[in-house]
Structure 1
Amino acid sequence: MTDAVSTKATTSRGRNRAERILAAASEVFLEQGYGAATMSEIGRRAGGSMQTLYRLFGNKEGLFRAIMEDKGAQVYGQMEDAAIFEKPPEQALYELGVRLNELILNPENLATHRIVMLEGPNHPELQRIFHDNGPGRARRVLSRYFEAECRRGRLNLKDVDAAAGQFLDMVKGAYFLPAILGRLGASSEIDIPSSVRQAVDIFLHGAACRESGS
């Protein structure tokens, strides 16, 4: 059971109903896009009464928000695990980078990104909801981690928020854009661990050669 569903219904039957509605809504959004999707089609696929659908989620925006809250919990929930704050940067950033790449390259998550990119200009609420539960959530969590590491003396960052954004862009840069454009090579050509290790190494240690004796 997801957090978004648990806030919408309190009984087991109600939670199952909410989960069916969200599954149907996700299916319709991915097939038809946000603008073309209708509450009636979502209700038809979910089964049950339209009254329950509106009572639980209100409208399409409410449905999309609940879906993004669920996806945000799946993708970024691990980053909010208190245990991650105890790991040194080399290990923590590597683990987070691998997890992030594996999840953002999931076909369903890529399809959601495409919907927001294509329809966001006409539906600003999509951009806001997506950012708050996706990239914005990751950046906030990573900023807190960097701030804690600076207090420990293991990192020296002037702007932890900017550094969080820069690292996230670096660590997903190898595969995310080609995947969004449908130009990602065969799975045998994808090496997420090696890509993430290089991103972490460059972020923490830089890429310039050091002069001997320095």
Structure 2
Amino acid sequence: MAQAKPESECRPRGRPPVRSDEETKRIVFEAARHAFAVDGYAATSTEALARAAGISTKTLYRLFPGKAALFEAMCADRLEQLLSAVDLQAGDEVDIETGLRAALLACADIALDPEVVALQRMVLQESAAFPDLAANFYKNGISRTATALAKWLRVRVKKQLIVLDDVDEAAGMLMGMLASAPQRAAIYGGISLPSRKDIERRVRNCATLFLNGCRVTSA
């Protein structure tokens, strides 16, 4: 009969793995997105955020100086998904219309995301008491989305696939056409956000309307 191993040999050696700050930040972002969207900015305390993320308040303050800094970082992190998605469509393997649809769909996935729209609703409700909240949301949300799309359009202008006098203005117009009406309907009218099928149809229509006005035609 085999002898049982001593307890010291069965127990894992060494200290338990320590979670990195980046991993902890992602957990905090997830907890914060849910808490801000459900309870609002003013009603959400740093203690509640730390508890929801499973960390101490001391750790939370070490990662973020305060609740405003956490909100700003959370919005910036959410928009990185958009920037990556748009950048992936910068190659030459697709035609201009297919590429524009892909870029717009990436924008719509962020602008019409239920959590993002819920955060936008919260910002509008609390902007009077916390004006910096609205400014940060614009800088890290609305503005960055249009900037990413403008970057995509600028490459196509340089390749002489489209002609635009003001690329940044055109990007803002495209974003408005794509997302503003559904956002307003959801925030002010209580209407459900469009389904994936409806978003894809809206993307196709926006791309067609846009390109019919700026596509380069042969002489």
Shorter-chain TM-score: what band?
0.7 to 0.9
Partner of 1:34: 41
SS at match of 2:127: helix
Deviates more, 1:142-151 or 1:13-22: 13-22
Partner of 1:209: none
Between the aligned partners of 1:186 and 1:149, the Cα distance in structure 2 is 29
The match for 2:114 among 107, 120, 139 is 107
Aligned to 1:84: 90
Per-residue CA distance 1:20-48 (angstroms, 9 max, x = gap): 33333223212221122211222232333
The correspondence for 1:164, drawn from 161, 166, 171, is 171
Seen in structure 2, the aligned counterparts of structure 1 residues 47 and 149 have a Cα distance that, compared at 3 Å, is: closer
Choose which of 140, 144, 155 in structure 2 pairs with 1:133. Answer: 140
Q: Find the counterpart in structure 1 of residue 192 from structure 2.
A: 184
Task: Give the Cα–Cα distance (whole angstroms) in 1 for the partners of residues 104 and 24 of structure 2.
Answer: 34
Question: Which of 188, 201, 204 in structure 1 is aligned with 2:208?
Answer: 201
TM-score, structure 2 length as denominator?
Answer: 0.77
How far does residue 102 in structure 1 lie from its aligned partner after superposition? 3.4
The answer as to whether partners of 1:85 and 1:148 remain within 8 angstroms in 2 is: no
Flag the 1:41–1:89 CA change in 2: closer, same or farther, 3 A: same
Shift of residue 170, structure 1, vs aligned partner = 1.0
The corresponding residue for 2:51 is 44
Q: Structure 2, unaligned stretches of length 5 or more?
A: 1-17, 214-219
Shift of 1:187: 4.5
CA distance in 1, matches of 2:192, 2:85: 26
The percent of aligned pairs where both chains have the same amino acid is: 30
* TM-score using structure 1 length: 0.79
Alpha-carbon distance in structure 1 between the residues aligned to 2:97 and 2:110: 20
With 52-61 and 100-109 compared, the bigger mean Cα shift is at 100-109
Distance in 2 of aligned mates of 1:46 and 1:78: 27
Hey, what's the Cα distance between the residues in 2 that align with 1:140 and 1:199? 18
Structure of higher CA gyration radius = 2
Which whole-Å CA distance do the structure 1 matches of 2:194 and 2:156 have between them?
37
Q: What one-letter code is carried by the residue in structure 2 that aligns with 1:149?
A: R
Query: Deviation above 6 Å: which 4+ runs of structure 1?
Result: none
**How large is the RMSD of aligned CA atoms in angstroms?**
2.4
How far residue 204 of structure 1 moved from its aligned partner, in angstroms, is 1.4
